[in-house]
Amino acid sequence: MAIHSFYSADQKLLFLDGEPTTLQDFKGGSVKGAVVTESAGSREDPPTKNISSLTFEPMVVTTGISMGKSLAAWIGATMDKADMRKDGSVVSVNSDYRAAAFRHFHNGLITEITLPALDVDSRDEAFLTIKFDAEKITDKEGDGSSLADALDTVQQKWLRSSFRLRVGDLPCSHVSKIDSFTIRQVLVPEVRGDFRFSTRTLTTLEIPNLKITFAAADIRPWVAWFNEFVVKGQNSQEEELSGAIEFLDPTGNTVLGSVDLSQVGIFALSGEQDTEVTGHKVSRYIAELYVEKMDINFLQG
């Protein structure tokens, strides 16, 4: 049964393999019963209804770039298409930094990894969102244990504006935006043994396209690549590029993490309506890229 104190607390921690990760936000994990209706076989008798199985709402955690090693390893294994299942807990923490409630999960599998939108004009902090399904979820009252040390862990500040892009030898110094994108792992439920619970089987890992915005100063080499790759059809595996999105600290000097890109191709290039920046009109262009493989590396700690 869901516990009110779990939702009422302001702070939450994710524990995997005993390692904490401070969460910016958490939702999901509610338990529901699936109702089935069976005909009584007679018009006079009403149909009967009963609970056939338990279903568990996906859990969604939002965190900064300073995460526990186990969470970083779980993300990496997902990107490598490995069948890594995790047991763990989300802990609700009260104002005295003590455990108020636990939400334990068993055999969790990541289904979505969402990277935030990046924008050089933004001053907002950036956060990663991870959704995962579990075969079983249970809620328990907190034991009052102190979590002050876990919450005191220094969190590296990660801004949406601090990033750089690399795509082959193309100029990227004037890239101003990269749209948010989500990597999805498709799962298929299978009922085995106890009919009340279902297991999950991995199927495919879906790698999204990228949408980037850059200034007119860089347009010529991008147009040349588009004409060769799309218009002239020179788009074999050998013509595809590699690259990376690097996340930087607020000074722009230290790399906090990256998304490595493999087998990158362009499929659309268009102009954006001119915008006013400090009294001058600025022309920007939008490139849409496909990527066959991504690898994610985040600062751990």
Residues 20-33: pLDDT tens digits?
Answer: 999 999 999 888 88
- The predicted pLDDT at position 254 comes to 92
| Among 186, 218, 184, CA closest to 200 | 186
Number of alpha carbons in the 13 Å side-chain half-sphere of residue 140: 12
Instruction: Enter the CATH code of domain 4-37+49-159+180-206.
Output: 2.30.110
Q: Looking at the predicted structure, is the pLDDT value of residue 193 above 60?
A: no
What residues form DSSP beta bridges with 51? 35
SS3 assignment, position 252: coil
Q: Looking at the predicted structure, is the pLDDT value of residue 301 above 60?
A: no
Its pTM stands at 0.87
* Rounded Cα–Cα distance for residues 99 and 230 (Å): 56
Assess contact for 170 and 212: CB atoms under 8 A.
no
Rounded to an integer, the average pLDDT of 256-261 is: 96
Assess contact for 22 and 150: CB atoms under 8 A.
yes
| Among 38, 33, 13, CA closest to 23 | 13
* Rounded Cα–Cα distance for residues 136 and 148 (Å): 28
Output phi, psi for 217, to 5 deg: -60, -25
Numbered ranges of CATH 2.30.110 in the chain: 4-37+49-159+180-206
Amino acid, res. 280: H
